[in-house]
Amino acid sequence: MPASTRHHRALAAFVHCLGILAAVPALPAAAPEAAAAPRPPVVTPQPTVTPRPTATPRPDATPRPPAATPAPAGATPPPVASTPAPVVVAARVPAGTAAPTPPSAPPAVAPPSRVPASTPPPPVTVAVAPEGSPAPRYRIHVRNVGNSPVDTTVRQELPPGSSVTSISAGGQSTRAGGSAAEVTWRLRLPARSTTTLGTALAATAPGQTLTAPACAFTSDGNRPYDCATATWQGAATSAAEINAAPAWRRTPVLLAGLAVLLVVIAGLILVWRQRRGRRVTAAALATGDGPDDGRGTIYPRPAAPAPARRRRTPPVWLLVGAAVVMLAGVLGAAGWTATRRVAAIDTQKQPTSGAWMGTGVSGPVGMPLRESAFEFTVYRMSCGAAGSARPGDGGAAPATGRRCQATVGVRNITGEHQPWHGQLQRAYLPGGRWVSTDESATRAANLGRDVFADPMAAGSRVVLPLVFSVDGQDPPRQLELRSGVFSAGVRVDMP
């Protein structure tokens, strides 16, 4: 073989190897998907990459431009006619150099925790305040915080057994299904304005307190914007006087009466003993015989045996009377104490020890009630007619049943996000039966938003409707609301 041919072939092979080595670092960055995939079986080192020299001499070969210059990043080297590119790459890695390995998978990351959904502030806010008047009176401030007029329906729930004497701003007294009487206003609030409404109720008995919550709803009266509550209490009557027991049932009075009785008995016994001692002394001085006809003498008489006399005891009537009085006092005190303790036991109260968290409380509509994590306030309960549930409302109401919607305010009183669940919110029916929240109907009442999907942010407050599907004609008698499975919860008595 001529010398020139051998030199050209050696030079071409050297330049070809340089081009391959320059292209190797760019391969993982150029095709990471291919590097991460399993290698094909053809990528095995080959014993040789150049064909055997033939007897026929090859013409002079010049270096190819793609092999002489390094391949740019992001591009694969052009295939060589003599050998496939993948085979050449696998065979020309220098000894001692590790073959490129596919990038490792990213480390496992814990799924992010659910973040409470931000609830936009309501366009309408409500505030209720009682007046210090002899008869119950309330002021309701309804404010439009938006920049456009809003049509709203304001409803104030009246206490059971109360009657309205005056209503301002054209309100009407109505009666909603399954609830007590209420006062309704239909208003159009201008932008950035505040409207004041007022109601007055008939005079009540001294010391009676009345709670009247009020809510602002959308124009159709279904979805609440905001709610507030207030309790009126007569200024002339204090809480101590309202809860005071009769005088004869007070502990100090009973103890004082028992002490006086014991003193009288002790005085009677002392007087009786003194009178008996005087009679004995007078009889001893008058006893004697002789010329003085028993009148006695100043000189001592000789000792003479005196007749044995029976020791006098207190009259039987005195002993029996004292025993009866003391027994009556002891039995009366014991009975009064036992009656108070039994009356203090609430059979409807949830357990407050052991596995339960917090203290179970109960109250009427419109009163804020706190448990371990939430503060619940039920402002209103309204039930539709039997069979009035439509298929489009969501849920699975019975054919002869109806849906009851409760307007509930929930406040997170803790410093952490708190989840809550629809199955833990219950409505108790007559006879002890109960139903949980109809989550599909509740989602429809909240415009498709699942209020139980996200936890409540720390310190936040929402007012929302909860829907219960019940059967029968009687509305729920009590609502049980709780934040968690082990929470004692609160119970709200329906009017």
> Residue 221's pLDDT is what?
83
The arithmetic mean of pLDDT across residues 317-330, rounded, is 78
> Residue 155's pLDDT is what?
94
Domain ranges, ordered by start, for the chain: 3-91, 124-235, 248-274+317-345, 361-493
Q: Average the pLDDT over each of 8-12, 75-79, 200-204, 242-246 and give the range with the smallest value.
A: 75-79
The pLDDT confidence band at residue 489, using thresholds 50, 70 and 90, is: very high
- Give Cα separations from 189 to 116, 153, 215, 327, 460 (angstroms): 31, 10, 15, 72, 26
> Residue 44's pLDDT is what?
46
> Residue 31's pLDDT is what?
43
Q: Are 32 and 26 in contact (CB under 8 A)?
A: no
State the SS3 of the chain. Answer: CCHHHHHHHHHHHHHHHHHHHHHCCHHHHHCHHHHHCCCCCCCCCCCCCCCCCCCCCCCCCCCCHHHHCCCCCCCCCCCCCCCCHHHHHHHCCCCCCCCCCCCCCCCCCCCCCCCCCCCCCCCEEEEEEECCCCCCEEEEEEEECCCCCEEEEEEEECCCCCCEEEECCCCEEEECCCCCEEEEEEEEECCCEEEEEEEEECCCCCCCEEECCEEEECCCCCCEEEEECCEEECCCCCHHHHCCCCHHHCHHHHHHHHHHHHHHHHHHHHHHHHHHHHHHHHHHHHCCCCCCCCCCCCCCCCCCCCCCCCCCCCCHHHHHHHHHHHHHHHHHHHHHHHHHHHHCCCCCCCCCCCCCECCCEEEECCCCEECCCEEEEEEEEEECCCCCCCHHHCCCCCCCCEEEEEEEEEEECCCCCECCCHHHCEEECCCCCEEECCHHHHHHHCCCCCCCCCCECCCCEEEEEEEEEECCCCCCCEEEECCCCCECCEEEECC
Does residue 277 have a pLDDT over 90? no
The arithmetic mean of pLDDT across residues 403-412, rounded, is 95
The pLDDT confidence band at residue 112, using thresholds 50, 70 and 90, is: low
> Residue 476's pLDDT is what?
93
State the SS3 of 127-187. Answer: EEEECCCCCCEEEEEEEECCCCCEEEEEEEECCCCCCEEEECCCCEEEECCCCCEEEEEEE
Q: Are 337 and 466 in contact (CB under 8 A)?
A: no
> Residue 325's pLDDT is what?
80
> Residue 71's pLDDT is what?
44
Portion of the chain with pLDDT greater than 90, in percent? 34
The arithmetic mean of pLDDT across residues 173-194, rounded, is 83
CA distance 227 to 236: 29
CA distance 284 to 439: 101
> Residue 246's pLDDT is what?
65
CA distance 485 to 356: 9
CATH number of 124-235: 2.60.40.740
The most confident of 40-49, 173-182, 415-424, by mean pLDDT: 415-424
Please identify, in words, the CATH class of the domain defined by 361-493: mainly beta
Portion of the chain with pLDDT greater than 70, in percent? 62
CA distance 110 to 454: 18
CA distance 52 to 55: 10
Prediction pTM value: 0.56
Does residue 141 have a pLDDT over 90? yes
State pLDDT tens for residues 150-170.
999 999 999 888 889 999 988
The pLDDT confidence band at residue 410, using thresholds 50, 70 and 90, is: very high
Does residue 188 have a pLDDT over 60? yes
The pLDDT confidence band at residue 303, using thresholds 50, 70 and 90, is: low
More confident position, 87 or 427: 427
Q: Are 126 and 228 in contact (CB under 8 A)?
A: yes
- What rounded mean pLDDT belongs to the chain? 74
The pLDDT confidence band at residue 115, using thresholds 50, 70 and 90, is: low
> Residue 230's pLDDT is what?
94
CA distance 367 to 491: 11
The pLDDT confidence band at residue 279, using thresholds 50, 70 and 90, is: confident
The most confident of 252-256, 297-301, 339-343, 408-412, by mean pLDDT: 408-412
Does residue 193 have a pLDDT over 80? yes
**Structural Rg of the chain based on CA atoms:** 49
